[in-house]
A and B are shown apart, each in its own frame.
Chain A
Amino acid sequence: SQQGEEDPQALSIQEGENATMNCSYKTSINNLQWYRQNSGRGLVHLILIRSNEREKHSGRLRVTLDTSKKSSSLLITASRAADTASYFCATPSSGANNLFFGTGTRLTVIP
């Protein structure tokens, strides 16, 4: 399976702290994406990093990509209660037009 795995499965932090979640994948990729999902809702795209990029920032988000290790990390700085959600990494299917999603990290930010 090309599906990625995320680590940790669950993470609980205090408001204001930073949250880091990691993603590992199995095959070579053109890009890697991160999505957020609030409980039982649809997924929202957060950021896309291309295979020739090593780091990308968007607001309080920082994403890194290490293609040699087939891994990525998402850092959320100065977390807020509203950041409470599940976060998924996703990679394009080789030769097709869909994404493979990781298992997700459930983040809880305590006010």
Chain B
Amino acid sequence: KAGVTQTPRYLIKTRGQQVTLSCSPISGHRSVSWYQQTPGQGLQFLFEYFSETQRNKGNFPGRFSGRQFSNSRSEMNVSTLELGDSALYLCASSMSNPPGNTGELFFGEGSRLTVL
């Protein structure tokens, strides 16, 4: 069974630009969540999608958005990029998680974004 696939793996953007990152979950997994990892803030939850619906959102500005398609693939978008958006963006998939009892997450290798 193929793992979680994230594209692109590395990208460089300049301030003010926008970026779209893609995530293909493990086949059969309907929940996809996104995390931002930086040296200063660690791993921070961005949002979680299940059956094309955003169920939860972390404490990030509206410049960060996402969506999920009918085949469970997900994209996240960051508009008007700032230097502080430089980070490793990680996507994770799972079968389904009851609220408050999230089980094992399967992570992709991440997309390393550098904003200049």
Give me the interface of A with B, judged by CB distance under 8 Å.
3, 30-31, 33, 35, 40-45, 48, 88, 92-104
Query: How far apart sit A99 and B4, CA to CA, in the bound complex (Å)?
Result: 18
Residues of B contacting A: mostly: strand
**The residue from B31, B101, B105 contacting A45, defined by CB atoms under 8 A apart:** B105
Is there an interface contact between A43 and B107, defined as CB atoms closer than 8 Å? yes
How many Å from the CB of B8 to the closest CB on chain A? Answer: 15
Residue-wise interface mask of B (78-111) relative to A, using a CB-CB cutoff of 8 A (1 in contact, 0 not): 0000000000101010000101111111111110
Q: Contact partner of A40 among B97, B102, B112, CB < 8 A? A: B112
Q: How many residues of B contact A (CB 8 A)?
A: 29
B110 touches A92 (CB 8 A): no
Q: Is the CB of B42 closer than 8 A to any CB of chain A?
A: yes
Contact in complex: A42, B107 (CB < 8 Å): yes
If A42-B110, A97-B55 touch, whether A30 touches B101 (CB-CB below 8 Å) is yes
Which B residues contact A (CB, under 8 angstroms)?
A: 4, 31, 33, 35, 42-43, 45, 48, 50, 55-56, 58, 88, 90, 92, 97, 99-110, 112
Which listed residue, B45, B101, B108, touches A42 by the CB 8 Å rule? Answer: B108
A97 contacts across to B, CB distance below 8 A: 31, 33, 48, 50, 55-56, 97, 99, 102
- Closest-by-CB residue of B relative to A50 is B101
Please determine whether B104 and A45 come into contact, CB atoms closer than 8 angstroms: yes
Q: Is there contact, CB below 8 Å, between A98 and B48?
A: yes
Distance from B25 Cβ to chain A, minimum over Cβ atoms (Å)? 13
- Subset of 14 A-B contacts with CB under 8 Å: A35-B107, A40-B112, A41-B110, A42-B108, A48-B103, A92-B97, A93-B45, A95-B99, A96-B99, A97-B48, A97-B56, A97-B99, A99-B102, A101-B43
In chain B, what residue has the closest Cβ to A47? B104
